Amino acid sequence: MISRRERVLNLAVLVFMSLVVLVPVSLLVLASLSPTPNGRPAFGDLRWDNFVVAWQQSDFGSHLLVSLTVSLAVVGITLVITPLAAYGLAVLKAPGHKWVFLVFLAGIMIPLEGIIVPLYFTMRATPFSSTVVALIIAHSGLSVSFGVFWMRAAFRSVPGGILESAMIDGAGPLRILRSIMLPLSAPALITLGLLTFMWTWNDYFLAFVLVNNPDQLPVTVALGSFSNKYTTQYNLMSAAAILVALPIVVLYVVFQRRFIEGVLAGAVKG
Amino acid sequence: MLAWLFLLPALAFYSFVVIGPTAQSVWFSLFRWNGVGPATWVGFGNYADFATDPLIGEALAHTGVMVVFFSVLPITLGLISAALLSRTRSRSTGVFRSIIFLPQVLTSVVIVVIWRQLFSLDGAVNSALRAVGLGDLAQPWLGSFTLTLPVLALAGTWTTMGLCMLLFVSGAGNIPTELYEAARIDGAGAVREFFSVTLPGLVPQLAVALTLTLIGALRVFDLVWLTTRGGPGTSSITPAVLLYSKAFTQQDVGGAAAIGVTLAVLSLLVSIVVVRITDRAAS
């Protein structure tokens, strides 16, 4: 059925789109290994120690620790609070659950710009102003909408028969959640964890506004100021950028199916 | 009532971070306030100021340019690829899919570094132009009053293109094969097949892509802030950059909140309008 010409055309489209992505990314990698500050590729002279220099000059280690702390804490909090809420809505059908779900869902449509100004003043008035704690709380609050939406959909797809028989056996709500709903929704939980980790790690704006303390900055904001300080040293800037991107890219390579399907399915939320 | 206990932790975080500040944004936007002293009630004064502030108009006009690069171009490219791929119904599986999606997982700061380098004075774009004898066109792209905005916006195309393409290709994969067979029996060529089968079948994915990319275009901050801060002059300023500088450098908290509220309302309108239009198209 499929003609040879169409097969070639097919491949051409895929190769073209891949090149559009790969060429700029390869230039970044080559620049990070370049011996000259303008980042010109030099295949014969690959400077791996650019990464060491960039690491040291940007104080990468301490920012990495901040990013890891914030991202892992937000994933942890999200994976506790959103399945609980989704369970209360989808399975226990808390009074007014339809209405509450709409309130949660509305958060997906409110852009960060709509809340950032008061959020800054609210956080500033707390004892953890301008620290990782403020960042963790803000990210966790922002992850609620998507998390509840995502876990509710997962719980609703659990066959009702399993639930009923568990209730007949006299299992309490917490027990049902722990030994039936969560194990059956493990794939959804893993995807939610990965997406939350990526979104938190990749955030720039929220951390940029909420955190002023230089040693509490995540890697993204640190890279932003590093790249402004070393505007003429593209090789070091590129090396620092790769250090920032690497953890997510590694996760992406390992879990690509979950990332792509999660984002595409999550996109449909709008 | 026990069920409500399960909702409490999520509601606590959500109220503190989202619901509270949303309401406060509206409230703040009705005052003139420098962030420390007493606030003066101005009603809708901050919104009325939009009409006289030339920067707001300029920022919104720039959003129009962003829409072209964040929304129109990626969706068009995505549709073309889906059309070319759907005839053979091979999904862009495996390594291609992963590569094409890659920009979606890169943080904006990294994309900014890539872009700065591509378009720097002796960056890859200028080198390529010189290499093919078009050296006269080589220039400081991010220092130009006319070109900075489109060059930055192109980064948006690069980021969202893959997402749109994969959305449409996977959507086209769900269109029943019989529809294509029927169209072919009717003698439809590739173009007619696209307009009569593929495009109508992709309405839900189009709605998603439109909503996501339009809201993305409305919100551009990192890309501009980290490269030009809205410059040269104000030639690449966006509403979000304006919001930031009003709130945190010009001490005009009310005006910043008014921009925030306006962006939120516009995002909501985009979602509602897109859903309305696509609902009508689907029925």
pLDDT given for residue A269 in this prediction: 45
Q: Considering only the beta carbons, identify the residue of A6, A148, A203 that sits closest to B87.
A: A6
Judged against a pLDDT cut of 50, whether residue A55 lies above it is answered with yes
- The chain-wide mean pLDDT, for chain B, equals 91
Establish if B72 belongs to a structural domain.
Answer: yes
The CATH code of the domain that includes B184 is 1.10.3720.10
User: Which residues of B are less than 8 Å from A254 in CB distance?
Assistant: none
Q: Which domains does chain A have, with CATH numbers?
A: 69-221+262-267 (1.10.3720.10)
For residue A140, count CB atoms less than 10 angstroms from its CB and return exposed for 0-12, middle for 13-18, buried for 19 or more: buried
For residue A143, count CB atoms less than 10 angstroms from its CB and return exposed for 0-12, middle for 13-18, buried for 19 or more: buried
* A221-230 average pLDDT score: 88
Q: Residue B40 belongs to what H/E stretch? A: strand B40-41
Q: Which domain holds residue B255?
A: 55-282
Rounded-to-integer distance, Cα B71 and Cα B66, Å:
8
Nearest residue on chain A to B36, alpha-carbon basis: A121
Establish if B20 belongs to a structural domain.
Answer: no
Judged against a pLDDT cut of 60, whether residue B227 lies above it is answered with yes
Q: How many domains does chain B have?
A: 1
Contact status of A259 with chain B (Cβ, < 8 Å)? yes
Contact status of B137 with chain A (Cβ, < 8 Å)? no
Q: CA triplet A210, B152, B213: central angle to 5 degrees?
A: 75
Rounded-to-integer distance, Cα A212 and Cα B266, Å:
30
Judged against a pLDDT cut of 80, whether residue A132 lies above it is answered with yes
pLDDT band at residue B87 under the 50/70/90 scheme: low
* B16-25 average pLDDT score: 97
For residue B90, count CB atoms less than 10 angstroms from its CB and return exposed for 0-12, middle for 13-18, buried for 19 or more: middle
> Which A positions 86-125 lie with beta carbon below 8 A of chain B?
87-89, 92-95, 97, 100, 103-104, 107, 109-122
Q: Which amino acid is at B145?
A: F
User: What digits encode the pLDDT tens for the residues B197-226?
Assistant: 889 999 989 999 999 999 999 999 999 999
User: What digits encode the pLDDT tens for the residues B103-136?
Assistant: 999 999 999 999 999 998 888 999 999 999 998 8
Establish if B36 belongs to a structural domain.
Answer: no
* A11-16 average pLDDT score: 89
Q: Tell which residue, B209, B177, B169, B6, has the closest CA to residue B83.
A: B169
User: Which residues of B are less than 8 Å from A134 in CB distance?
Assistant: none
- The chain-wide mean pLDDT, for chain A, equals 91
Establish if B11 belongs to a structural domain.
Answer: no
